[in-house]
Amino acid sequence: MTPTARRDALRALVSAPGVTLSAPPILVPPAAYFDLAGEEFGARMILTQGTDGTEFCLRPDFTLPIAIDHIASGAATPAAYGYLGPVFRQRADGPTEFDQGGMELLALPDADAALDKIIAFARSVLDIYGVTAPHIRVGDIDLFETLLAACDMPDVWRPRIRARFGHPEAMSALLDRLANPHTATSGPVGMPETDIADWVRELMLTNGLSLTESRSPEEIAQRYLEKQALEAAHVPAETIDLLRRYLAISGAADTALAQIEAMRGLIDLPLDATRRRVDQLRLSGESSNLVFDAAFSPRLDYYTGITFEMTGQGRGVLVSGGQYDRLLQRLGANEQIPAVGCAVWVDRLEAEVRS
């Protein structure tokens, strides 16, 4: 099949009956990306300004603009969107403009059926490009969040640990910190917030620092008290060990899930849904390279449930997908809306054909 024929087949897939072919503007407001994707993603965006000073970015993906448009047309209305076109990101290993295709299923009432459709879509894309034995990595965010909710720890630490899920280095550093808390705290201990603010103000003036050009003494005092409260909120060593053991689990899917089940003496996790989702991926094609990675997650906290990525013989992810039920609500919908999607990297797929 020629590159043109493959492109045509992919376009037919993302505009199949019942699927709306979406084409968001190339220039989009960057605020949602900074709010939801964070500084790491923001650093890769290509920013520009209109003549009136309005800030835009070149479209770095399709998912957020599609979700924003869907909310405007009725967030709770079931819909399927396909897309195929250029996205723009700064990359160290390739051009800043490259083609991305994909599908987003929003507000479908049957989450399992929606996931089936997304996995079938991923398989169809790989078939177009002749990728017959992909390496598949799958994770389950719901499983980790269930574990985190059941762990013995002060509640103040749960959102901080969750925020580092999918960031192995940051998670490791935080668990190290929790395992070895500071025994001494510099500064005034036990003072009221107003007294701490006065102490900070005096230090700033003594050292020639402005009281207005950066954070105020009151803001610094409040952050200091928050830090003191965190340091005083001790996380049991058994909990830290449990989290480390869970996050270290990665390997052949059946073996990895058996390892999680063997932890039932320490904590009881519901694995039926996870096994069913793993089987959905297994049934999408013959694959002896199906890995369950307990620590795997996109670095975006609106993802929920299953996430997966598929690679071929070359380097780089060819297809990635997952559930992101919190996204539409984070963008302004009145309630949580079920959502699942899949993105495909056309340039990498074409390179896979040539390899």
Mapped onto helix, strand or coil, the DSSP state of residue 130 is: coil
The torsion of the CA quartet 104, 108, 112, 118, rounded to 10 degrees, works out to -20
- The answer to whether 302 is a known ligand-binding residue is yes
CB atoms within 10 A of CB 343: 22
- Length of the chain measured in residues: 355
- The answer to whether 89 is a known ligand-binding residue is yes
Q: What are phi and psi of 59, to 5 degrees?
A: -50, 110
Euclidean distance between CA atoms 15 and 22, whole angstroms = 9
Is the Cβ–Cβ distance between 37 and 63 less than 8 Å?
A: no
Q: At 276, which helix (H) or strand (E)?
A: helix 272-282
Angstrom distances, CA of residue 263 to CA of 63, 229, 243, 246, 274: 37, 31, 11, 9, 15
Q: At 208, which helix (H) or strand (E)?
A: none
DSSP bridge pairs for 320: 309, 343
Is the Cβ–Cβ distance between 144 and 168 less than 8 Å?
A: no
- The answer to whether 104 is a known ligand-binding residue is yes
- The answer to whether 162 is a known ligand-binding residue is no
- The answer to whether 100 is a known ligand-binding residue is yes
Strands 97-106 and 339-345: antiparallel
Angstrom distances, CA of residue 240 to CA of 163, 235, 237, 272: 16, 7, 5, 25
Residue 187's nearest CA partner among 154, 220, 214 is 220
- The answer to whether 62 is a known ligand-binding residue is yes
Side chain identity at residue 293, one-letter code: D
Sequential DSSP letters for 156-200: GGHHHHHHTTT-HHHHHHHHHHHHS--S---S-SS--HHHHHHHH
Q: Residues at the annotated binding site for L-histidine?
A: 61-63, 89, 100, 104, 302-303
Q: Residues at the annotated binding site?
A: 61-63, 89, 100, 104, 302-303
